[in-house]
Amino acid sequence: MPDTATTDQTYIVRTYGCQMNVHDSERLSGLLEGAGYVRAADGASEADVVVLNTCAVRENADNRLYGNLGHLASVKAGRPGMRIAVGGCLAQKDRGEITRRAPWVDVVFGTHNIGALPVLLERARVQDEAQVEILESLDVFPSTLPTRRESAYAAWVSVSVGCNNTCTFCIVPALRGKEKDRRPGEILSEIEALVAEGVCEVTLLGQNVNAYGSEFGDREAFAKLLRACGQIEGLERVRFTSPHPRDFTDDVIAAMAQTPNVMPQLHMPLQSGSDTVLRAMRRSYRQDRYLGIIERVRAAMPDAAITTDIIVGFPGETEEDFEQTMHVVREARFSAAFTFQYSKRPGTPAATMEEQVPKEVVQARYERLVALQEEISWEENKKQVGRTVELLVAEGEGRKDGETRRMSGRAPDNRLVHFAVGSTPADELPRPGDMVSVQVTYAAPHHLNADGADGGSAIKALRRTRSGDAWQARQEQPEGERRGPAVALGMPSIGQPAAAAQADNACGVC
């Protein structure tokens, strides 16, 4: 691709939504840097190009977008030559509506043509008019595009894009299309290249990740892929998100249990524990099947941490339906649950269903569910006290680490652990990407602590890694070239990479 920008032009990407959007934003950043742009150091007010990578998950998603665009209008008025681009699911959905309501936007592009962004920006500059390009199907598989990875030690790797399901609450299939699978060799080659660069953990990513292989007719393809990851030297941790209970088979459980670098962690969306509601959602499993999967996973991996997504107040949900959800939560004993009040998604069947549950009822149920899950999460975390765990040291996970003389890391089961470093000299501290062994001393509902005796270090063993070397090499780059957490996320964060995040209201990976 020819250069379309001079090196003094800057950009920023703001991301809202699911892991797919986070990874897409890494590609958007890679494309822009390949075209000569440099990431802005001081945010949108100083950037020459602002890209909003949108999500269409909530009923008020457009309000959020137009509110942001309204703010940017005044910024742009004082910065001649500034350009604004809007992409992602909401752009795919609203198309020409964006430039009608916000005529100061320069580029609108969809989920199927993110690779066109630099060209569209240049065309908007030359022609001095808005460029809107929305494709109905994928033109280039996103993984072939340049990527600006936001972590030196952990990476997303897409195995597929799109989804073949028809959940009544979800607009994703309409915006991202039918499932398209990458060939196993392409995926493994990407992982091997990442490991060669210093990455030690990958998260396999798909809209319905364990349906991988359906396009080329191999129902065991995902289990085979997990086992193949186990053969990659230097790859220490493999995770995946998110599977669908319909497609979750015993060969995947066996592959997880038998492949040492596949972590004992599973995010399995439930959405509802009521068979009636699941039927209305067009979720093709029922309570018994879901709990059966959880039971078999725990039999194969007793220490596995299982998390989930739950929607409260789906249209028609009765008190009895909600109690069935509470029953599943009690039985499954999730280590964490991402709970959401049902939000209408315009364009989905559920948005027009009768029997919308009153807001006050939804709120009361939501609070009861959160209280129950908080209790369970705390009880499950207390079981970790006294255990010695090996942590992958993380960047940006502990907001109070500086005040408490702690650093943070992720256990194999993805639990967040803050560990004391005491008065350890700076040059002896572990680096993000290194591995440390610590003993858990305290449990809270959402994290664990490992503290040393008399305020000292909790580190029992430190293993410096190639991933830590890669992180350090980034820090030693000139400030303008340094890569770090650059994607501003509009949702709660739970895992790796450091900028990773869980889906907003179960959209995107469900």
Residues placed in the known binding site: 18, 55, 89, 163, 167, 170
- Per the listing, tokens 């439930």 go with 270
Rounded CA separation 220/222 (Å): 6
d(CA 95, CA 134): 7
Whether residue 155 contacts residue 237, with contact meaning beta carbons closer than 8 Å, is answered with no
Please, are residues 112 and 92 in contact by the beta-carbon 8 Å criterion?
yes
Tokens of 422: 């005491």
The first and second tokens of residue 326, run together, are 């509470």
Instruction: Judge whether 438 and 460 are in contact, CB under 8 Å.
Output: yes
CA distances from 311 to 355, 506, 510 (A): 16, 8, 11
Phi, psi of 463 (to 5 degrees): -120, 110
Residue whose tokens read 């910065």: 79
Q: Is residue 85 classed as helix, strand or coil in its secondary structure? A: strand
Residue 339's φ and ψ, nearest 5 degrees, are -105, 140
Closest CA to 8 of 45, 47, 50, 38: 38
d(CA 380, CA 443): 9
- Binding-site residues for [4Fe-4S] cluster: 18, 55, 89, 163, 167, 170
